Amino acid sequence: MKLGHFFSLSWFGIKTILFKQKKPILGTIILTDHCNLSCKHCAVNNINNEMYSYESIVKEMKNFYKEGIRILFFCGGETLLWEDNGKDIKDLIIKAREIGFYIVNVVTNGTITLDIKEADIIFLSLDGLKDTHNLIRGDTYDTIMKNLNEANNSNICVYLAVNKLNYKEIEKVGKLSKNHPNINSISFNLHTPYKGTEYLALTKGEKREVIGKIKKMIKDNIPVFNLNSTLDNYLENNWKRPCNQCIVSEDNKRYVCGRCVEEEGLCEECGYLFAVEFSLLFNGNIKVIIDVLKTYLKYI
Ligand SMILES: C[S@@+](CC[C@H](N)C(=O)[O-])C[C@H]1O[C@@H](n2cnc3c(N)ncnc32)[C@H](O)[C@@H]1O
Ligand code: SF4
Ligand code: SF4
């Protein structure tokens, strides 16, 4: 990260903490809800089957920037299926940089390509070793591995949503992530039980087991892109939500924190560790501030 960007983000953090500001710094734009998969744990695919236009996405990027947002995520549906009149994800990332965003990330299921050097981080969803991943995501593991091996870049962070079906395997995926030359890190979320996916939620005891394993991986130098200092707060469920510093935009509609904010009672069951981390950080938790400097700067 450029030094100027680092100082600017730090200044944002200081102002947010001192003056209890609610302004966002991290914005996500949903490019499409269309998806080529139908994963067991997901509730946001193929609802309207829409590809949003290049113009509307660029307009929202400019709005975000004017409002002070500097970290941009592109997400979906399947993000990399997005296209509009010959324009694709690379055009959007280049445009985002032109506008001035400091960090531009993409979240993908990895079935199309992972050759996107333009992104700072590609969050690649991988939900277990072959059989478990395929059980959750359909027969896609081999394609993803092929794309991973062929990627000409090493800006890839494995993104694993831990649930009832895969929680026994997370350490093995951690090791795979450490050993693969194109993988830079691994980041975990725990299952958030959207309507119809409640059966995949972990019990309190299983969550404790998972958090224990993530802590051990951090100790064993697996490149975990989560904050150790926030894991107990997740377990004890004692963090403030929604997180005001994150915002999601889909088709001209804005959501504070995540689209999930509108599902009654879901935030209480939230498993998105980024929300826990950002919430504690911007509420001025000293341990978390130090951990961010230690951890985030390693992987960005
Ligand atoms: C909705 S997907 C969109 C991007 C892309 N299609 C993908 O799968 O990475 C973004 C991330 O949300 C995760 N996710 C979906 N449903 C979830 C749930 N119920 N709890 C936690 N994470 C979830 C997915 O595993 C994925 O890593
Ligand atoms: S690939 Fe992503 S958007 Fe598509 S169903 Fe799976 S988690 Fe949902
Ligand atoms: S706290 Fe944020 S990320 Fe978690 S469920 Fe609520 S809106 Fe979604």
Domain extents for the chain?
24-299
CA distances from 248 to 64, 130, 258, 260 (A): 10, 31, 6, 10
CA distances from 29 to 52, 68, 196, 258, 286 (A): 10, 15, 25, 11, 30
- For the cut 90, the answer to whether the pLDDT of residue 296 exceeds it is no
- For the cut 90, the answer to whether the pLDDT of residue 153 exceeds it is no
Atom of ligand 2 nearest to the CA of 76: 3
Counting ligands in written order, the one closest to the CA of 243 is 3
The percentage of the chain sitting over the pLDDT mark of 90, rounded to a whole number, equals 95
- For the cut 90, the answer to whether the pLDDT of residue 72 exceeds it is yes
The percentage of the chain sitting over the pLDDT mark of 70, rounded to a whole number, equals 100
Atom of ligand 1 nearest to the CA of 78: 6
> Residue with structure tokens 């341990």?
287
Atom of ligand 1 nearest to the CA of 124: 9
Of the residues 44, 249, 260, which should be mutated to test ligand 3's pocket, given the most ligand atoms within 8 Å of the CB? 260
Give the separation between CA 169 and CA 156, rounded to whole angstroms.
20
Atom of ligand 2 nearest to the CA of 137: 6
Over residues 157-166, the mean pLDDT reads 98
Q: Identify the CA nearest to 284 among candidates 4, 23, 21.
A: 21
Over residues 49-74, the mean pLDDT reads 98
Beta bridge partners of 187: 159
Q: What is the mean pLDDT of the chain?
A: 96
Q: Whose CA is nearest to atom 3 of ligand 3?
A: 258
- Whether 258 is in the pocket of ligand 1, judged by its Cβ within 6 Å, is no
What's the pLDDT score for residue 154? 78
Reported as a single tens digit per residue, the pLDDT across 213-250 is 999 999 999 999 999 999 999 999 999 999 999 999 99
* Dist. CA 169 → ligand 1 center (Å): 18
What's the pLDDT score for residue 289? 97
Over residues 277-282, the mean pLDDT reads 97
Of the residues 74, 108, 167, 189, which should be mutated to test ligand 1's pocket, given the most ligand atoms within 8 Å of the CB? 189
Counting ligands in written order, the one closest to the CA of 234 is 3
pLDDT band at 54 (very low <50, low <70, confident <90, very high): very high
Distance of CA 257 to the CA centre of its chain: 12
Task: Could you list the beta-strand ranges (E) of 17-155.
Answer: 26-30, 71-75, 103-108, 121-125
What's the pLDDT score for residue 297? 83
pLDDT band at 65 (very low <50, low <70, confident <90, very high): very high
Q: Identify the CA nearest to 126 among candidates 137, 139, 115, 113.
A: 137
Q: Whose CA is nearest to atom 16 of ligand 1?
A: 42
- For the cut 90, the answer to whether the pLDDT of residue 93 exceeds it is yes
- For the cut 90, the answer to whether the pLDDT of residue 298 exceeds it is no
Reported as a single tens digit per residue, the pLDDT across 262-277 is 999 999 999 999 999 9
- For the cut 90, the answer to whether the pLDDT of residue 147 exceeds it is yes
Is the domain covering 24-299 a CATH 3.40.50.1000 domain?
no
- Whether 159 is in the pocket of ligand 1, judged by its Cβ within 6 Å, is yes
DSSP-based three-state secondary structure for 13: helix
Over residues 74-78, the mean pLDDT reads 97
Q: Whose CA is nearest to atom 5 of ligand 3?
A: 267
Q: In the structure, which protein residues have their CB atom closer than 6 angstroms to any atom of ligand 3?
A: 192, 241-243, 257-258, 260-261, 266-267, 270, 272, 275
Over residues 251-258, the mean pLDDT reads 96
- For the cut 90, the answer to whether the pLDDT of residue 82 exceeds it is yes
Q: Whose CA is nearest to atom 4 of ligand 3?
A: 270
Reported as a single tens digit per residue, the pLDDT across 16-30 is 999 999 999 999 999
Counting ligands in written order, the one closest to the CA of 248 is 3
CA distances from 121 to 102, 184, 209 (A): 12, 9, 28
- For the cut 90, the answer to whether the pLDDT of residue 8 exceeds it is yes
